[in-house]
Amino acid sequence: MQDQKPCEGQEIICVNVDKVYDWIVKEKSFELTPSGAIPFPAVTTATSLTGAAVTCDVAPAAVSPIVILHREDRTFCVDGKNVCLQQLTIQKNFDVTVIVTLPNGTTFSSAPISVSRCESATLCAPEGTDVTITYTDLDCFVCTTGGLTAGDGSITFTALTISVDTCQSIQSTFPVTVELLADYCEPRADIVAGCSPPRRPQPCSVVFPDAGGGNCCN
């Protein structure tokens, strides 16, 4: 019998992973209508906003992008069986930035506007599990702006409406240690860069006959 090296063959190993208790995908859209002066640090009262285009950008909040406000056990009938699931009330937090582009190409970005929206979701997410949201698509667009008035470090919109569209993957997870029968990985062979062999030009037998034949136009 051939002896195996220490890193060859299969071995039972334990690894730490996140067990996915439940997983759903949902679409959700909402509108916001910021009122009053919105901070634009680079704008002054002398800034002309005539003909300006208004767009927006949205991202999950840097701090506490989601908060589980409430988790309630409820019984549901699934495939003829009563199962206990959790009704979650989730607060999602976003940072929305308004971007104003002048006709000459100059752009002004607002300070991030904090936006929170709540929704409910039914998952197998018992107490102690973590709930995470991954946005597979997160976008916004400006519906209306109304008039724009430049202030000292701000812009006031008379009728600003922003729509936010989300496609979200919601998972409930819990860290576990699992046992696996696995093969150890081996490194691949390194690719060594070497010198190319010398090249010979094609002979031009029409001008100077050569036993090898060939044509410089081939």
178-216 pLDDT, tens per residue? 999 998 888 888 887 777 777 777 776 666 565 555 555
**Domain locations in the chain as residue ranges:** 18-183
Integer CA distances (angstroms), 110 to 33, 36, 43, 101, in order? 15, 13, 9, 12
**Model pTM above 0.85:** no
| C-alpha to C-alpha distance for 25 and 64, rounded to whole angstroms | 21
131: which residues sit within 8 A by CB, 6+ positions away? 66, 68, 88, 90, 123, 125, 170, 171, 172, 173
Q: Read off the DSSP letter of residue 81.
A: E
Tens-place pLDDT, residues 195-205: 777 777 777 66
